[in-house]
Each structure stands twice: as structure tokens, then as C-alpha cells.
Amino acid sequence: MELGGKDCAYIAKDADPKAAAEGALDGALYNAGQSCCAIERIYVQEEVYDDFLHHAEQIVKSYVLGDPLVETTNMGPLTDLNAPSTLSDRVTAACENGA
């Protein structure tokens, strides 16, 4: 599903929540989420929302941040000096809107 540059994923009620979380987070977070085609929104049907969220949380908590040249690193650095500030602003806005 593509919504004018706001790429999203849709998780239906008959989806396997664990597999859906793995796929959606891979699509959202590969290249530290810094890709023009990275998933930016994930819509999850109520029937699988709690399970999906549980698995997504476990995946994110397992990530190892660090030097991308180290094999055990899952997520490397942001692309430029302004990126941390932009990311912080987006997290703040998301939290203010119920995330």
C-alpha cells in the first residue's frame, strides 16, 4: 500500500502476528529506517494488535545498535548531524499524539 510517499503496511486479522511483526519491522527499520521506501505507518487490525505489538516490542528490544562494520550490529548510525534532532522531534510529536 502506497499513500503518496507515506508507505504503510496493513496487518489483517488472519495474519500471523509474529511473522507480520518481523516483516513490518524489517521494512520499517532496514538501513536505520533511512530509505525512501521504508514503511512509515503500520495499520493493525484490533484482533491481532496486542500480539503484533508484543512481538514488535521484543524485536526492537533485541536490536544491537552500533558500528555497522561489526557483524553483531543490527542498526547503525543516522545519516547526518541533523538526523538525531529530526528523529527526536518526530518521537516527541508521535508521543504527543498517542504513540
Q: What is the pLDDT of residues 37-51, one digit of tens each?
A: 788 889 999 999 999
Three-state DSSP class for residue 66 = coil
Q: Considering only CA atoms, which of 3, 67, 80, 1 is closest in space to residue 34?
A: 80
Domains of the chain in start order, with CATH, are: 8-96 (3.40.309.10)
Catalytic residues: 2, 36
Q: What is the mean pLDDT of residues 5-15?
A: 88
Are 60 and 22 within 8 A, CB to CB? no
Q: Band of the pLDDT at 1, cuts 50, 70, 90?
A: low
Distance linking the first and last C-alpha atoms of the chain: 22
Phi, psi of 15 (to 5 degrees): -75, 155
